[in-house]
Amino acid sequence: MINIIGLGYIGLPTALILAANGKKIVGTDYNKELVQTLNAGETTFEEKGLKELFTQAINQEIVFTTDYVTTNKYIVTVPTPYEKENKKVDPNFIIKAVESIIKVCAEETILVIESTVSPGTIDKYIRPIVEKWMSQTNKLIHLVHAPERILPGNMIEELNYNSRTIGADDEKIGLQVKSIYQSFCKAEIVVTDIRTAEMTKVVENTYRDINIAFANELTKICRFDNLDVHKIIDIANMHPRVNILNPGPGVGGHCISVDPWFLVGDYPGLANIILTAREINDSMPEHVLERIHTLMKKYQITDMNKIGLYGLTYKPDVDDVRESPTLQLLEKMEKHLAPPLKVYDPMLTTQIIDNQLMNFDEFLAQTELIVVMVAHTHIKKNVSKIIDKVILDTQNIIENSYKL
Ligand code: SAJ
């Protein structure tokens, strides 16, 4: 039996796919409401294929509880917030989970940490706790780091087909953990050491951040000279060794906009390109704001209440708003004491900010200039409804509209 600790964006799909593939799973979360919702047969966030996987899993052996259970295999998928001021990972959720696990676990136990951590976190914060406990008891606890790699919006597919990294002190233990993941993962699984696994995960997200920053910097350069950045990227990408990503209003989510900071915080003076990329991506909401002001001037719109931001989530077709570019933009505006503009997002069923409208028609009725912040499928299907507005399309999905 495997006890999965933390049933959020990573833990829940991981618990479900393991159960659906015949593993006996207990999913633990300290959030009573979340556990009640799962026990009532409902999923807790929007994700393609999650509901179907949930049905498959509950037909197998899966239990949701707030308790840690006694077993010899644990997978920790709790969040790792980061401390904005000093750019360091906050390992407290992992520490709490590990402290609870070691008290109830079997004599010999494998403890896998999937949560993303900055390089060195496990040796610095987790290993001492485990080693102290082992010296006071007869327990043997094997630490493993198996960072998740799945893309929100395509999680189930990526659980099945993405390759994975497993870092362990002892190769034999690494191979045992590999066989657990092989119950559903059809791609290659590399076994390495813990430090390498930690660094690799953060490097992957940093690589993407830097590449997005390049596209965003090009956008600003092309805007300066009134060139069409999208046309230039399309043509450049026809070169066999060029693959430029899409510029956008900023980088959101709890991964790519966070993980590079771990390297900046831990390697000051060395992580230079990484820092610059972060700064470029963080500057994009300000760039959107400048574009809004230019268009307001051009169309003589004087009232900020007539501006509508379409999309509040951090990317298309998900309901996750963490670090979203729209929220970053609004935060910047608050600093300038600007009046609230309107916000609408079809993926959100509850109002989470003051100026958020819950009805699309109402949003249309109240706005003259619409800024497409997120390329939800919904807006692609409803282009005809906004075409008479002034449109600032940060996602390059609407023809004959203004771009970044
Ligand atoms: N974005 C752009 N331009 C692009 C691609 C993305 O502006 O060309 C923006 C998105 O709109 C979004 C942000 O970047 O705001 C991040 O989105 P994403 O889809 O690139 O990535 P995440 O954060 O959803 O998931 C990433 C993935 N990492 C990599 O692709 C290297 C995923 O595989 C990881 O599992 C996940 O981080 C994680 O949890 O670490």
Q: Which helix (H) or strand (E) holds 198?
A: helix 194-224
Which of these, 391, 399, 373, 403, lies nearest to 249 by C-alpha position? 373
Predicted pLDDT at 402: 97
Predicted pLDDT at 334: 77
Give the E-state strand segments of 33-161 in sequence order.
Answer: 62-65, 73-76, 82-83, 88-89, 108-113, 140-145
53 belongs to a structural domain: yes
Burial 44-61 (b: 16+ CB within 10 A, else e): bebbeebeebbeebbeee
Helix (H, G, I), strand (E, B) or coil at 74: strand
For residue 360, count other CB atoms closer than 10 A to its CB: 17
Answer yes or no: do 121 and 235 share one domain.
no
ipTM above 0.90, yes or no: yes
Q: For ligand 1, atom 25, which residue shows the shortest CA distance?
A: 151
Predicted pLDDT at 337: 64
284 belongs to a structural domain: yes
388 belongs to a structural domain: yes
For residue 39, count other CB atoms closer than 10 A to its CB: 12
Query: Which of 141, 164, 192 corresponds to the end of one domain?
Result: 192
Q: Ligand 1: which atom is nearest the Cα of residue 325? A: 15
Answer yes or no: do 185 and 235 share one domain.
no
Mention every residue, 6+ apart, whose C-beta is less than 8 A from residue 172: none
Q: Ligand 1: which atom is nearest the Cα of residue 208? A: 31
> Is-catalytic flag, 255?
yes
Give the E-state strand segments of 211-349 in sequence order.
Answer: 307-310, 342-344
Pairing of strands 342-344, 356-357: parallel
Answer yes or no: do 237 and 188 share one domain.
no
Q: Ligand 1: which atom is nearest the Cα of residue 374? A: 11
Predicted pLDDT at 339: 66
- For residue 102 the two structure tokens come to 């070691």
Q: For ligand 1, atom 19, which residue shows the shortest CA distance?
A: 151
**Amino acid (one-letter) located at 259:** D
Cα separation, 187 vs 162, in Å, equals 6
401 belongs to a structural domain: no
Q: For ligand 1, atom 34, which residue shows the shortest CA distance?
A: 149
Answer yes or no: do 150 and 239 share one domain.
no
Give the residues across from 113 on adjacent strands.
Answer: 76, 145
Helix axes 127-136, 92-104, angle to 10 degrees: 20
Mention every residue, 6+ apart, whose C-beta is less than 8 A from residue 259: 116, 118, 201, 202, 205, 206, 209
Distance 251 CA to ligand 1 centre (A): 8
Answer yes or no: do 143 and 284 share one domain.
no
Which of 89, 113, 116, 315 has most ligand 1 atoms within 8 Å of CB, for mutation? 315
Cα separation, 131 vs 148, in Å, equals 25
Which of these, 329, 333, 229, lies nearest to 281 by C-alpha position? 329
116 belongs to a structural domain: yes
Answer yes or no: do 83 and 144 share one domain.
yes
CATH number of the domain bearing residue 139 = 3.40.50.720
For residue 15, count other CB atoms closer than 10 A to its CB: 31
* Pocket-forming residues, ligand 1, beta carbon under 6 Å: 116, 148-152, 204-205, 208, 212, 245-246, 248, 251-253, 255-256, 314-315
If you ran DSSP here, which 8-state letter would residue 126 be given? I
Q: Which listed residue (23, 185, 255, 306) is catalytic?
A: 255
Residue 266 and residue 121 in contact, taking contact as beta carbons nearer than 8 Å? no
Residue 278 and residue 209 in contact, taking contact as beta carbons nearer than 8 Å? yes
Distance 216 CA to ligand 1 centre (A): 14
217 belongs to a structural domain: no
Domain span at 141: 2-192
Which of 10, 256, 327 has most ligand 1 atoms within 8 Å of CB, for mutation? 256
Answer yes or no: do 238 and 355 share one domain.
yes
314 belongs to a structural domain: yes
Answer yes or no: do 287 and 172 share one domain.
no
CA angle 45, 48, 53 (to 5 degrees): 85
402 belongs to a structural domain: no
- For residue 203 the two structure tokens come to 């490097």
Q: Which listed residue (23, 201, 306, 315) is catalytic?
A: 201
Residue 261 and residue 86 in contact, taking contact as beta carbons nearer than 8 Å? no
Residue with tokens 């119950």: 183
How many domains does the chain contain in total?
A: 2
Which of these, 5, 18, 20, 99, lies nearest to 59 by C-alpha position? 20
Distance 261 CA to ligand 1 centre (A): 15
Distance 221 CA to ligand 1 centre (A): 23
Predicted pLDDT at 340: 82
Answer yes or no: do 64 and 140 share one domain.
yes
Q: Which residues of the chain fall below pLDDT 50?
A: none
Distance 101 CA to ligand 1 centre (A): 31
Predicted pLDDT at 98: 98
Mention every residue, 6+ apart, whose C-beta is less than 8 A from residue 166: 144, 145, 146, 174, 177, 178, 181, 189, 190, 191, 192, 197
Answer yes or no: do 271 and 127 share one domain.
no
> Is-catalytic flag, 201?
yes
Helices (H), 299-376: 325-335, 360-366
Which of these, 175, 6, 147, lies nearest to 74 by C-alpha position? 6
Answer yes or no: do 372 and 240 share one domain.
yes
